[in-house]
């Protein structure tokens, strides 16, 4: 497993554990005495962290540090596939003009809005 893949696995495990316990990202960052932005980078696998921080994180979840490194093969494959798709999309956008990039950004925002509509309807009882 590459360094980047290891960070992704650790980040996914941390995020999953935090969400399962109903801890907000801000609360979690406060528990760790780290900035919420830095914790977000760790959870997304964009940054690594020190062994001391990994120990603190494992302690919050009552896990061993080894458990943070455990890879669920199905989740790992899914993460790798998602990463490959994101990289492909990014590589395709290098030649676009500012106007084309704005159009793409607005389209993505529209898709996010559509994706969230069913959850909004459930919340309002519709």
**pLDDT mean across residues, the chain:** 85
pLDDT range class, residue 70, cuts 50, 70, 90: confident
Residue 126: pLDDT over 70: no
CATH 1.10.260.40 given to domain 3-69: yes
Mean pLDDT of 78-92: 77
- Between 82 and 94, where is the model more confident? 94
Domain edges within the chain? 3-69, 94-126
- DSSP, residue by residue, the chain: --HHHHHHHHHHHHHHHHHHTT--HHHHHHHHTS-HHHHHHHHTTSS---HHHHHHHHHHHT--HHHHH---HHHHHHHHHHHHHHHHHHHHTTT--HHHHHHHHHHHHHHHHHHHHHHHHHHHT-
C-alpha triplet 88, 89, 90: angle, nearest 5°? 90
State what percent of residues in the chain have pLDDT above 90: 43
Residue 1: pLDDT over 50: yes
């Amino acid at each position: 497993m590459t360094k980047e893949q290891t960070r992704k696995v650790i980040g996914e495990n941390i995020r999953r554990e935090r969400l399962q316990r109903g801890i907000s990202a801000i609360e979690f960052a406060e528990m760790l005495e780290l900035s919420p932005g830095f914790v977000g980078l760790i959870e997304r696998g964009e940054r690594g962290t020190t062994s001391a921080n990994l120990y603190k994180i494992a302690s919050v979840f009552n896990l061993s540090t080894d458990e943070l490194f455990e890879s669920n093969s199905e989740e790992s494959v899914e993460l790798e596939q998602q990463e490959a798709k994101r990289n492909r999309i990014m590589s395709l956008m290098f030649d676009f003009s500012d106007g084309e990039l704005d159009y793409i950004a607005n389209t993505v925002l529209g898709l996010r809005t559509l994706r969230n509509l069913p959850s909004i309807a459930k919340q309002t009882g519709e």
